[in-house]
Amino acid sequence: MNQKLKIFVVDNDQIYLTITQKLLSKISDAFSVSIFYDGIQAFEVLKNLIDSKSNDLPDIILLDLDMPIMDGWEFLENYKKMGINNYKSIPIYIVTSSIALEDVSKSDSYQEVLGYLVKPLNIETLKNILTN
């Protein structure tokens, strides 16, 4: 890969974030990983990048659902309202501990969401996502 793949990981669980970073480093060094502890932090950075028409937009977003201030659902709503897909389509994967069926079916209603992944993530799953 000539250019590093840009990954946004959004989750308030510090341990999960560390684990994810470890797994990504095991797959490749060619990832640029940005960590966000809350939906609102991730959304504001994303918005600024879009507004400034930056080339640093992420290639993939791994999004948790249960977060303080702005949870995953609220992030998705705001993201949808921005109409970012007209500019660049960013695949979003929900990565959560929730196995509630209503959360799974709710995630299906978002075009932007490419997959619903239940924690823990293993290295194969991550590889699949990133190669797709």
Helix or strand or coil: residue 70?
Answer: coil
Give the x-and-dash track for 30-59 against another protein (CB under 8 A).
--------x-x-------------------
Q: Which is nearer to another protein, 19 or 82 (CB)?
A: 19
For 44, the token pair is 């504001």
Q: How far is the CB of 84 from another protein (least distance, A)?
A: 21
Structural contact between residues 62 and 20, judged by C-beta atoms closer than 8 angstroms? yes
Q: Which of 28, 85, 111, 123 binds another protein (CB under 8 A)?
A: 123
Pairing of strands 113-118, 60-63: unpaired
13 Cβ contact partners less than 8 Å away, ≥ 6 residues apart: 64
Q: How many residues bind another protein (CB under 8 A)?
A: 24
Segment near another protein (CB under 8 A), from 2-10, 54-62, 82-90, 91-99?
91-99
As beta bridge partners, residue 61 has 8, 92
Structural contact between residues 37 and 11, judged by C-beta atoms closer than 8 angstroms? yes
Which residues contribute to the site for another protein (CB under 8 A)?
A: 13-16, 18-19, 22-23, 26, 38, 40, 66, 68-69, 97-100, 118-123
